[in-house]
Structure 1
Amino acid sequence: MKLSHLKSLFFIGTMLCGTMVTMGQSAKVTTSTIGLGWANNSVNTVVFRKNSLVTFKGEQYAAYYNNDQALVLAKRKSGSAKWQVVTTQYKADAADAHKDISIMVDGSGYLHVAWGHHNQALNYAKSIKPGSLILSAQQSMTGVNENKVSYPEFYRLPGGDLLFVYRDGGSGNGNLMMNRYSMASQKWVNIQQNLIDGEGKRNAYWQMCIDKKGTIHISWVWRESPDVASNHDMCYARSNDGGLTWEKSTGEKYTLPINAANAEYACKIPQHSELINQTSMFADDKGNPFIATYWRDSSTIIPQYHIVFKTADGWRSANLGFRKTAFSLGGVGTKRIPISRPQIIAWNHDGKQSAAIIFRDAERGDKVSVAVNSDLKTANWLVSDLIATFVGNWEPTYDTELWKDKKVLNLFVQQVTQVDGEGKASIAPTEVQVLEWKP
């Protein structure tokens, strides 16, 4: 990827649905509208959706709740403005912003969908045939610890099998579960019942990614209670064998389960630091992990975006430092926060390590914004807006498989409103769109 391409992207104005804005001769951006989605809270746009969009063999899939709280699936040929849209037979309590929809396509082309979880029994189905948007009847996966599911996430391994990760238990007291789906048998097996153990005292809020080599990277903050103010520290683990065994970044093997005593601490962050949970991470083509989050350093009252990343000299933390507005995190439920949790992408440019953070900030007018650094050895961050459109309390999610394979960034974008403490607004549905950039 050329940095000039990214810079071209950052100065784009408002774009009409389906129109294309050409940036010079080498970069272009399009937006495409799928339909109208539920906008009374942020459930369609929470940052921990894995995934909201996913591409497989030239077809891109999307999922969202409509204004009737029904689960909607859609797909298109990559780059097309025309979507095939199906309203499924399934509904959920979309008024709880935790109950997001997660999708993934396995290596045989079956679409897998999980939805409507916040300490609920598992809601899972897959398409009746490869490439179809028609879902089967609900089914269990393994039957093990499927009654108190939260934060379901799918990931595709390089061979086409899937991982399914979720929390079993409650906030401040839960364990991380992991299942694996075999294309050959078309069955799920449990491979970790308690990968990260809260020991009945805390739970891990994680972010995870799989690099092109198949290494699984996971990082997490600990939370001591349901109060978000009790978040602390950033930990890390990786697996080179599909999640069966785990190690630290040094190669030292973990004795499972991982807990507060034996975890590798990538960054020590005290409680009451406005540290947010469930953000994002990305590993570049060389397998180097980058974690994006935000917190407040002890010397300031202003929370700032940070990147935590590994170098040959150990873990480093980069403070982006461009924010000017203070706020404080505390309480339970989904919060109305003036900034979004960030997404991160990273790449090598002329031998330098570059990175971009995608975010939304009230001090910038609640738009889709990006901060870019062409060399992480410096503190030079270029902050700009991708589009001039107001997106409310949107958080960024993107097509991880398309970025991994093609270095094309597709963002799920919808204007939504989040009332503090799991409240619900009363507004009309808004357009669900995909914002695409490619060199």
Structure 2
Amino acid sequence: MMFLPLALRRLLLLLLLSGSVTGVAQVAPTAKPGGLVPVGLGWARNNVNGAVFRKNSVVTHKQTQYTAFYDSVGYIVLGRRALPAGAWQVQRTRYQGKVSDAHNIISLMVDGAGYLHLSFDHHGNPLRYCRSLAPNSLELTDLLYMTGKQESNVTYPEFYRYPDGDLLFVYRDGSSGNGNMVLNRYSTKTKQWTRLHDVLIDGEGQRNAYWQATLDARGTLHVSWVWRESPDVASNHDMAYARSLDGGKTWQKSTGEVYKLPITEKTAEYACRIPQRSELINQTSMVADAQGNPYIATYWRPVGSTVPQYQLIYLTNKQWRVAQVGQRTTPFSLSGAGTKKIPISRPQVLVGNSKSNPPVYVLYRDVERQDRVSMMQCTDLSTNQWTTKDLNAEPVGNWEPSYDTERWVQNGRLNLFVQRTGQGDGETLEKLAPQPVYILEWAP
């Protein structure tokens, strides 16, 4: 066999992993659990592969894990492997997205019957949704409708899996500063989608909600959101909250008071009041602990300061509390429309499964830590003492954290989608060649 230098062998491997021929599967070498597990080469001129609001970028069903990303010319590549350390099988699909717009992310989930569901390429355009032809398959159906209603102006598709294996699908109908939150539910028995709410959170034609959501182990659905008054990100304000104990049909406040739907700016419960022009970011993350208490991670600039700080808003003993996470020193300001080039990522929050006083983890990327994948951890929120570590050594550009929520719930292992990405301000692109996609594995 002809000898090839190590660098060239690695490059050829990544080219094979990119699935450059439609419908042809390639297999990565088996990897031991832990560290960075390579998957393929992905588009990197903006952060469309690395946005925090991908729900999900990686997902596990039983002992099979899946991921998805856009390749160098915008085709969707699917990956599948057997856990804990099977080889990644990657396959380019026939579907292509407008990767020049960083809003147009890929979201995926697996239902309780093992079917993969995929929604992608949305920024105020008709629904693009498909699912696998069979359980545990990477072959996809043609594009499908869900309910056929309010599917012409879709942005921010998100999937969540109920404890019984059914799926929740959430998206925005409308535009920035003027949009509403829509909820659908998928039945694994009938393989049909039904509408839960045409409008759950109503911007009343004047504003829209930018939300984050989570389904906890009890099946309670938690949603929190900031309001935006216009397309300008500087008009973000406040953090509101609602929960549903019946899968999204009826809604209540944290006090148990029942909401009259749809929820509006005047009727919402506020976990924290935050003024406009506070550098408050939108679409971050939330989780709930084993007792059903919600935790919301975000960032904004405290009053009297020029430096935005990571913040944790959480419910304990029926009281909302706010804890600053870490101490940044670099100021920046948010204003304007479109995807912004920001020196920090939006945060991702996780909690341990302890029934009392669980540890809290915040994942992020910050220029102050040379744009590495970083984590802050607090073992006791009553002290608000945080320790910081980097989970990798190399910079990841403008990447934001998204992870396999189902595997974390199953066994407490963090599987994080990682890729170095660029991001120009206001949907402009950076001159960055396709970059390797990895799954970063970590356990407490």
TM bracket (short chain): over 0.9
> Tell me, what secondary structure is at the counterpart of 1:402?
helix
Corresponding residue number in structure 1 for 2:22: none
Corresponding residue number in structure 1 for 2:288: 283
Residues 102-251 of structure 1: pairs in structure 2 closer than 5 A: 102-251=107-256
> Which stretch shows the higher mean deviation, 125-134 or 425-434?
425-434
Q: Does 1:57 align with 2:62?
A: yes
> Tell me, what secondary structure is at the counterpart of 1:352?
coil
Following TM superposition, by how much is the alpha carbon of 1:299 offset from its aligned partner in structure 2, in angstroms?
1.9
Corresponding residue number in structure 1 for 2:276: 271
Following TM superposition, by how much is the alpha carbon of 1:348 offset from its aligned partner in structure 2, in angstroms?
5.7
Q: What do residues 182-220 of structure 1 show as CA deviations (whole Å, max 9, x unaligned)?
A: 111100011110000000000000000000110000000
Contact 2:291/2:355 (CA < 8 Å) preserved in 1? Answer: no
> Tell me, what secondary structure is at the counterpart of 1:353?
coil
Please, which of 294, 302, 318 is the counterpart of residue 297 of structure 1? 302
**Equivalent-residue separation in structure 2 for 1:42 and 1:92 (angstroms):** 13
Q: Does 1:337 align with 2:342?
A: yes
**Equivalent-residue separation in structure 2 for 1:391 and 1:406 (angstroms):** 27
Following TM superposition, by how much is the alpha carbon of 1:397 offset from its aligned partner in structure 2, in angstroms?
0.2
Please, which of 390, 396, 407 is the counterpart of residue 401 of structure 2? 396
Following TM superposition, by how much is the alpha carbon of 1:238 offset from its aligned partner in structure 2, in angstroms?
0.4
Q: 1:350 to 1:314 in 2, by over 3 A?
A: closer
Q: Does 1:365 align with 2:353?
A: no
Contact 1:32/1:81 (CA < 8 Å) preserved in 2? Answer: no
Which amino acid counterpart does residue 41 of structure 1 have in structure 2?
Answer: N
**Equivalent-residue separation in structure 2 for 1:177 and 1:348 (angstroms):** 30
Residues 22-61 of structure 1: pairs in structure 2 closer than 5 A: 29-61=34-66
Q: What do residues 340-398 of structure 1 show as CA deviations (whole Å, max 9, x unaligned)?
A: 00000112669433211000001110000011111000121101211111100000000
Which amino acid counterpart does residue 244 of structure 2 have in structure 1?
Answer: S
With normalisation by structure 2, the TM-score equals 0.92
Q: What do residues 246-291 of structure 1 show as CA deviations (whole Å, max 9, x unaligned)?
A: 0000000000000000000000000000000000000112111000
Q: Does 1:97 align with 2:77?
A: no
Which amino acid counterpart does residue 65 of structure 2 have in structure 1?
Answer: Q
Following TM superposition, by how much is the alpha carbon of 1:428 offset from its aligned partner in structure 2, in angstroms?
1.1
Which amino acid counterpart does residue 192 of structure 2 have in structure 1?
Answer: K
Q: What do residues 282-306 of structure 1 show as CA deviations (whole Å, max 9, x unaligned)?
A: 0112111000000001121110000
Please, which of 433, 439, 443 is the counterpart of residue 434 of structure 1? 439
CA RMSD between the two structures: 1.3
Q: 1:253 to 1:187 in 2, by over 3 A?
A: same
Corresponding residue number in structure 1 for 2:12: none
Corresponding residue number in structure 2 for 1:74: 79
**Equivalent-residue separation in structure 2 for 1:204 and 1:352 (angstroms):** 31
Following TM superposition, by how much is the alpha carbon of 1:19 offset from its aligned partner in structure 2, in angstroms?
6.4
Following TM superposition, by how much is the alpha carbon of 1:426 offset from its aligned partner in structure 2, in angstroms?
2.5
Contact 2:226/2:282 (CA < 8 Å) preserved in 1? Answer: yes
**Equivalent-residue separation in structure 2 for 1:214 and 1:341 (angstroms):** 26
Contact 1:18/1:33 (CA < 8 Å) preserved in 2? Answer: no
> Tell me, what secondary structure is at the counterpart of 1:404?
helix
Contact 2:254/2:318 (CA < 8 Å) preserved in 1? Answer: no
Please, which of 424, 427, 434 is the counterpart of residue 422 of structure 1? 427
**Equivalent-residue separation in structure 1 for 2:158 and 2:300 (angstroms):** 24
**Equivalent-residue separation in structure 1 for 2:210 and 2:107 (angstroms):** 17
Contact 2:255/2:318 (CA < 8 Å) preserved in 1? Answer: no
Q: Does 1:254 align with 2:259?
A: yes
> Tell me, what secondary structure is at the counterpart of 2:406?
helix
Following TM superposition, by how much is the alpha carbon of 1:18 offset from its aligned partner in structure 2, in angstroms?
7.1
Contact 1:19/1:30 (CA < 8 Å) preserved in 2? Answer: no
Contact 1:46/1:394 (CA < 8 Å) preserved in 2? Answer: yes
**Equivalent-residue separation in structure 2 for 1:119 and 1:404 (angstroms):** 32
Q: What do residues 91-138 of structure 1 show as CA deviations (whole Å, max 9, x unaligned)?
A: 010110000000000011000000000001000000000110000000
Contact 1:229/1:275 (CA < 8 Å) preserved in 2? Answer: yes
> Which stretch shows the higher mean deviation, 93-102 or 423-432?
423-432
Structure 1 segments unaligned to the other structure (5+ residues): 1-16, 21-27
Counting matched residue pairs gives 416
Which amino acid counterpart does residue 103 of structure 1 have in structure 2?
Answer: L
> Tell me, what secondary structure is at the counterpart of 1:229?
helix
> Tell me, what secondary structure is at the counterpart of 1:220?
strand
Please, which of 314, 322, 328 is the counterpart of residue 309 of structure 1? 314
Which amino acid counterpart does residue 265 of structure 2 have in structure 1?
Answer: A
Q: 1:262 to 1:177 in 2, by over 3 A?
A: same
Which amino acid counterpart does residue 65 of structure 1 have in structure 2?
Answer: Y
**Equivalent-residue separation in structure 1 for 2:357 and 2:204 (angstroms):** 41
> Tell me, what secondary structure is at the counterpart of 2:34?
strand
Identity of aligned residues (%): 55
Contact 2:290/2:354 (CA < 8 Å) preserved in 1? Answer: no
> Tell me, what secondary structure is at the counterpart of 2:358?
strand
Q: What do residues 71-109 of structure 1 show as CA deviations (whole Å, max 9, x unaligned)?
A: 111110112251111100100101100000000000110
